[in-house]
Each structure stands twice: as structure tokens, then as C-alpha cells.
């Protein structure tokens, strides 16, 4: 029902007392390797909720690629669409200091080799989905081709992260465009006012059919392009331990429920429960809930 087109990365995490300056070496903790990348995260999040989910991505022919595939299979994601080879699996090199601040270097690796041609080759998979969810950790041309191949056969959901300019062809296909505060500010530039409801309306003016703005512990806003109506969705109150990957879990849950025909505000209320559950445990994919672990609605 849900096809995720996106990135798969191995997150390599070392805790350090302080980060090294140029030419300097510091010692850190033991290495922790976690499956990550926005596409892989979304697919695992949806599958754990019970969605029939497939992933279209590219990994390297290496240990990180196998780790990522293993995590997808364990969650129940169909991985026939995961291509292998051409470059090493994407990695995020992450150092975490005692205050919890991250420094991250991303090596896109195989993600950068997921091409428009790969999307055309997977056209049957793309057109069979009720909903296709994409992000921007793969080439923009590949996202454009996804929109073209989909051709309105299914719904298209985009989280434009990392945030950057989007062609009109992609923007007008989004239903919804899902952004956090940072992504909203980048897309709106100086035109972003102080108020999130205003952002939602300004984002609608860029052409998407609908918009969802996520606001962390403050929940989310949904905005409908036809009616202009903006609705606020509260987040369940939980004690947050690690917000990594909360947005990916939220977006995956939202896309799946929208694909099933749920109303946007109802789908966002469900997604907010999923995002809230994801912040109560450390990590991204490891923290994603099964339905029994969801908090009650706010
Ligand atoms: P991102 O992870 O992309 O920065 P947000 O921080 O907005 O995105 O989180 C996405 C969604 O996850 C929010 O809309 C909310 O529903 C949920 N969420 C995030 N942080 C919390 C929190 N501290 N408490 C409850 N829900 C949260």
C-alpha cells in the first residue's frame, strides 16, 4: 500500500568528550552502528505499524548494506526494490558530545546513485502503490522522475529534507508536503512570518495540494489547499528521550493512513501518536512502535 522512495544510511555513532579541531585526534566511546536514513526509517516505521510497505532505495554491496536490509526484513518491509552496488552504502558519521549535541558528516554513497532510470525500471512498483513517500536524501532528479512515473496513479507525499528549492512539478504533486519548522523556514525564506498557521498558508501558495507542518512537542498543523482550512493537531504528552527520527515516523504513519483514505486531520492525529512513541526511546528505527506501544491521542 505504501512505497517509500528514499535513502538508506548506516549511522556510525561515537560519543566524545569534545570534538577534535583541525589536525587533532580525540578518543571516543565504542562505535555503535544503527540502521538509518530517512527512506529506510520511514519504511520500518510504517511496516511496524502494520502497513504493507515496500522500499525503493540503493545500498552498497557491503556489511552496512546487509545490516540495512536485515533491519527492513525484520520489520516486514518488502525489499525487492532495494538495489545494490555501485558505491559504498551511505553512512552518517556522528559524534555526540556530553551535552547531547551532534556533529554529523553524511557520505551519500549509493544513495547518490539511485537514478531516474532506476525509478523507470521500477515503474510497476511505483504505480502499484496507493501512496508513495519520498524525501530529499536521494538526487532531486530521481524524486522528479518518481512524480512523473507515478503520474497521479497514487498519492505523493514529500518530506523535503534536507531542505532546498523544489521544482513546481514536484511541489504541485505533493499531497501533502510535510515539513518541520526548519524546513518551513528554508522553503519560505524571508517570507516566513512568526506564526506556524501562516507558514502553512504561505506553503500552500507554493502549489502543493496540502501541507502538514510538524511542531515537535506542540504537535502539527494540517492545511488543505482546496479549502484553505488549517487544523491543529495536538501531540500526546510523553517524556522525550531522543527525538531522532521522530519526523520520519510521523511522516510514514501519515502517508500510510492517508493512502487508506483517512481524512488529513485524523491521519495526522494518528501520526502524532506514532511520533510521540518514537521520542520515548533512544535511536530511530529501534525506537519505532508497534500499535500496542502507541500512547492514547492527546
Ligand atoms: P523532526 O523530527 O523532523 O524535526 P518534529 O520534531 O516536528 O520533526 O517531530 C515530528 C512529530 O513527532 C511531531 O509533529 C510530533 O507529533 C512528534 N513529536 C516530536 N517530538 C515530540 C515530543 N517531545 N512529544 C510528543 N510528540 C513529539
Does residue 237 lie in a domain region? yes
Tell whether the model's pLDDT for residue 208 goes beyond 90. yes
Q: Which atom of ligand 1 is nearest to the CA of 159?
A: 3
Mean pLDDT of the chain: 97
pLDDT at residue 60 is higher than 90: yes
Return the pLDDT at 124. 98
Structural domains of the chain, count: 1
In a domain, 66, yes or no: no
The pLDDT > 90 percentage for the chain reads 95
Question: How is the chain classified by DSSP, letter by letter?
Answer: -EEEE---EEEEEEEBSS---TT----B---EEEEE-HHHHHHHHHHHHT--EEEEEEE-SSHHHHHHHHHHHHHT-B-TTEEE-SSPPEEEEEEE-TT--EEEEEE-GGGGG--HHHHHHTHHHHHH-SEEEEESSS-HHHHHHHHHHHTTSSEEEEE--S-----HHHHTTEEEEEEEHHHHHHHHGGG--S-HHHHHHHHHTTS-SEEEEE-GGG-EEEEETTT--EEEEPPPP---S--TTHHHHHHHHHHHHHHTT--HHHHHHHHHHHHHHHHTSSSSGGGPPPGGGPPPP-
Q: Binning pLDDT at 50, 70 and 90, where does residue 100 land?
A: confident
Q: Is residue 106 part of a domain?
A: no
217 is in an annotated binding site: yes
Q: Assess if residue 97 is contained within a domain.
A: no
With respect to residue 129, please indicate whether it lies within any of the assigned structural domains: yes
Nearest CA to ligand 1 atom 21: 217
CATH of the domain at 220: 3.40.1190.20
Q: So what's the pLDDT on residue 151?
A: 97
Query: 179-189: per-residue pLDDT in tens?
Result: 999 999 999 99
Atom of ligand 1 nearest to the CA of 236: 25
Using CB distances shorter than 6 Å, the residues near ligand 1 are 180, 214-217, 219-220, 235, 238, 240, 243, 246-247, 250, 272, 275-276, 279
Residue 251, domain extent: 38-56+76-81+112-289
Q: Is 78 annotated to bind ligand?
A: no
* Claim: this prediction has a pTM higher than 0.80: yes
**Mutate which of 216, 245, 297 to test ligand 1's pocket (most atoms within 8 Å of Cβ)?**
216
Would you state the pLDDT for residue 191? 80
Query: Residue 137 pLDDT more than 90?
Result: yes
Whole-number pLDDT of residue 256:
98
Q: Is residue 116 part of a domain?
A: yes
Active site members: 248
Instruction: Give me the pLDDT at residue 26, please.
Output: 97
* Mean pLDDT calculated for residue range 95-119: 94
For residue 101, the model assigns a pLDDT of 85
CA-272 nearest atom, ligand 1: 16
Q: Is residue 104 part of a domain?
A: no
| pLDDT attached to residue 205 | 96
Instruction: Please check if 248 is assigned to a binding site.
Output: yes
From the CA of 246, how far away is ligand 1's center (Å)? 5
Kindly give the distance from the C-alpha atom of residue 216 to the centroid of ligand 1, in angstroms, as a whole number. 3
Is 88's pLDDT higher than 90?
A: yes
Can you give the pLDDT at residue 102? 86
Taking the centre of ligand 1 as the mean of its atom positions, its distance from the CA of residue 233, in whole angstroms, is 12
pLDDT band at 115 (very low <50, low <70, confident <90, very high): very high
pLDDT digits (tens, 9 = 90+) for 123-135: 999 999 999 999 9
Position 158 pLDDT exceeds 90: yes
Amino acid at each position: 500500500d505504501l512505497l517509500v522512495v528514499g535513502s538508506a544510511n548506516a549511522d556510525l555513532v561515537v560519543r566524545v568528550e569534545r570534538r577534535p579541531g583541525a589536525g587533532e585526534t580525540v578518543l571516543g566511546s565504542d562505535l555503535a552502528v544503527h540502521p538509518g536514513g530517512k527512506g529506510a526509517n520511514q519504511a520500518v516505521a510504517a511496516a511496524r505499524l502494520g502497513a504493507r510497505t515496500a522500499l525503493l532505495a540503493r545500498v552498497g554491496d557491503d556489511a552496512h548494506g546487509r545490516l540495512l536490509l536485515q533491519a527492513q526484513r525484520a520489520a516486514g518491509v518488502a525489499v525487492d526494490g532495494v538495489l545494490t552496488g555501485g558505491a559504498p552504502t551511505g553512512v552518517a558519521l556522528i559524534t555526540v558530545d556530553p551535552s547531547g549535541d551532534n556533529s554529523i558528516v553524511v557520505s551519500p554513497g549509493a544513495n547518490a546513485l539511485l537514478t531516474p532510470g532506476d525509478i523507470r525500471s521500477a515503474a510497476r512498483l511505483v504505480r502499484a502503490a496507493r501512496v508513495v513517500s519520498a524525501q530529499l536524501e536521494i538526487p532531486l532528479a530521481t524524486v522528479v522522475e518518481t512524480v512523473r512515473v507515478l503520474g497521479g496513479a497514487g498519492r505523493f507525499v514529500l518530506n523535503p529534507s534536507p531542505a532546498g528549492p523544489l521544482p513546481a512539478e514536484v511541489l504541485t504533486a505533493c499531497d501533502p508536503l510535510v515539513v518541520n519548522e526548519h524546513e518551513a523556514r528554508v522553503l519560505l525564506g524571508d517570507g516566513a512570518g512568526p506564526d506556524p498557521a501562516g507558514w502553512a498558508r504561505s506553503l500552500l501558495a507554493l502549489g502543493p495540494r496540502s501541507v502538514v507542518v510538524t511542531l515537535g512537542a506542540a504537535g502539527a498543523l494540517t492545511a488543505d489547499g482546496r479549502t484553505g482550512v488549517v487544523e491543529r493537531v495536538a501531540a500526546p504528552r510523553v517524556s522525550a528521550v531522543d527525538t531522532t527520527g521522530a519526523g520520519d515516523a510521523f511522516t510514514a504513519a501519515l502517508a500510510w493512513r492517508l493512502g487508506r483514505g483517512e481524512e488529513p486531520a485524523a491521519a495526522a492525529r494518528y501520526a502524532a501518536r506514532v511520533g510521540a512513541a518514537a521520542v520515548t526511546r533512544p535511536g530511530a528505527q529501534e525506537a519505532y512502535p508497534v500499535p500496542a506501544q502507541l500512547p492514547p491521542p492527546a
